[in-house]
Amino acid sequence: MGLISRAASLASVPVTTGARMAGAATAAAFGADKDAMYAKATAASIETLTSALAKARGPALKFGQALAVFSSALPPEQAAQLSALTRLYEDATPQPMSKISKVFDQLPAGVDVDPEAIAAASLGQVHRATWTDGRPVAIKVQYPDAPRVVKSDMLQLKAMAPLVGRLLPNLDVRALIDEHAQRLSEELDYTKEAAWQEKFRLGWAGDNIVIPEVLFATKTILVTEWIEGTPFTALANEPGERRNAAGRALARFAFWSPRLVGATHADPHPGNFRLLADDRLAVLDFGSVAADAGIFTRLFTTTMLLSVDSDFEAVRQAWVDAGLIAESTTTEQLLGLLDVDTRPYTREEFTFSREWLQSRSQAWQDPVVALQGVNQLRFPPDYLLEHRAVMGSLALLCSIDATVDFRAVLDQVEQDLTDAA
């Protein structure tokens, strides 16, 4: 979708929605059922919003996917529309080399680039290549118009803020949009991604986590060593031993990175994790990272361990201290929302499955569930990113039916908390 058509599609959302709401108000003034009219207008507005975000893809779609985290605040049929955005990936059509050749001019002489891209998104694409020393590498290249696409999309998203705020009144939408804009700005600078990737590589050196070495980076091009492996999307058909090895490594990477690196890899897309032939786990794409991480990891671990000891008042206080529930929330109300399952911790090993994930309370998967009755709350940005990382990693474990020594994972987090106290 071109820049002008993208802007027109997104700009039409608040206009169309405003007309619907005005129509609902007029109908109610003439005697129609007010609740029914507004419910109908809201449902149609959600459909228009999700359709526009999905078609625009790029920054707009990424914002929609972040917004979908809060979908349970809506009626079920509307929540289903918004949550569907989480299943859309940026599978854009690659641009021909003729349109991006100037970006490749930054590379040193002697690099042999395959002209056919192996992956593409709205802001860039990836090519295989051979580095100057003969090593196979992956080259991530940014489209020349990426900054303009981001700027245009963010202007339109800010115009939508009142609409989204009306649909999700418990959410500080403007704060979420501002945070989204800041993250996108950082993602446009590949030198920042390169720095995080190297920091994670050094932090996990010597363990069973493999992170590609960065060989070259500018703001618009990133070269890393090529990694062969089985992506998570294909692990469901692998033997149990392989799936379990991937699960154990992923659990440690998700929960221990705050201690080892001081940050969390915040893009738990299945394509970003690959199992190598020797059962080590490779982690790719560090464009989205939660810096100063540990907020949600500590809350998750603390909740699990206190629940094992039936210290539910302490659980409530932990959520109050985290700023996620009001002081007036009772222990019974919070436990009803969380419905904590302590089996992953009380057993030596636990098998994560789709059935288990579907049986769990939405409070873990959707933080807004814990905020009913709160008029407005500014979520800490690092909480949102880290929440996505932890919950996305658990979902990946469930997708491959991985059996994990989860007690050992959380015990190490608990030890970190004890040492820091």
* Percent of the chain residues past pLDDT 70, beyond the cut: 73
Residue-level pLDDT at 279? 95
Virtual CA dihedral for 191, 195, 200, 201, nearest 10 degrees?
90
Which residues, at least 6 apart from 357, have a Cβ–Cβ distance to it below 8 Å? 394, 395, 398
Please give the mean pLDDT across all residues of the chain. 80
Most confident by average pLDDT, 10-19, 76-85, 285-294 = 285-294
Segment (H or E) for 139: strand 136-142
What would the 3-class secondary structure string for 158-186 be? HHHHHHHHHHCCCECHHHHHHHHHHHHHH
Q: What average pLDDT does range 132-139 have in this prediction? A: 97
State the Cα–Cα distance between residues 411 and 395, nearest whole angstrom: 21
Burial of 421 (0-12, 13-18, 19+ CB in 10 A): exposed
Residue-level pLDDT at 408? 96
Most confident by average pLDDT, 352-356, 394-398, 409-413 = 409-413
Higher local confidence (pLDDT), 398 or 180? 398
* Closest listed residue to residue 49, CA positions, set 92, 89, 78, 88: 78
Most confident by average pLDDT, 9-13, 217-221, 293-297 = 217-221
CB 65 within 8 A of CB 88: yes
pLDDT band at 25 (very low <50, low <70, confident <90, very high): low
The predicted-structure confidence for 153-188, as pLDDT tens digits, reads as follows 777 777 777 767 766 665 667 777 777 777 777 788
**3-class secondary-structure state, position 265:** strand
Burial per residue of 319-338, b for 16 or more beta-carbon CB atoms within 10 angstroms, e otherwise? beebebbbeebeeebbbebb
Residue-level pLDDT at 373? 43
Residue-level pLDDT at 69? 53
Q: What tokens were used for 230?
A: 């089985």
CB 105 within 8 A of CB 144: no
State the Cα–Cα distance between residues 181 and 161, nearest whole angstrom: 13
Q: What tokens were used for 106?
A: 């930054």
Enumerate the β-bridge partners of residue 210.
282
pTM: 0.77
Residue-level pLDDT at 178? 76
The predicted-structure confidence for 301-324, as pLDDT tens digits, reads as follows 999 999 999 999 999 999 888 887
CB 18 within 8 A of CB 160: no
Q: What average pLDDT does range 343-356 have in this prediction? A: 93
Residue-level pLDDT at 378? 45
The predicted-structure confidence for 36-75, as pLDDT tens digits, reads as follows 776 677 667 666 766 666 665 566 666 666 666 555 455 5
Higher local confidence (pLDDT), 78 or 31? 31
State the Cα–Cα distance between residues 259 and 409, nearest whole angstrom: 12
Q: What average pLDDT does range 218-247 have in this prediction? A: 94
Where in the chain are the domains? 3-91+146-186, 229-421
Residue-level pLDDT at 240? 95
Residue-level pLDDT at 95? 87
State the Cα–Cα distance between residues 324 and 383, nearest whole angstrom: 10
* Percent of the chain residues past pLDDT 90, beyond the cut: 40
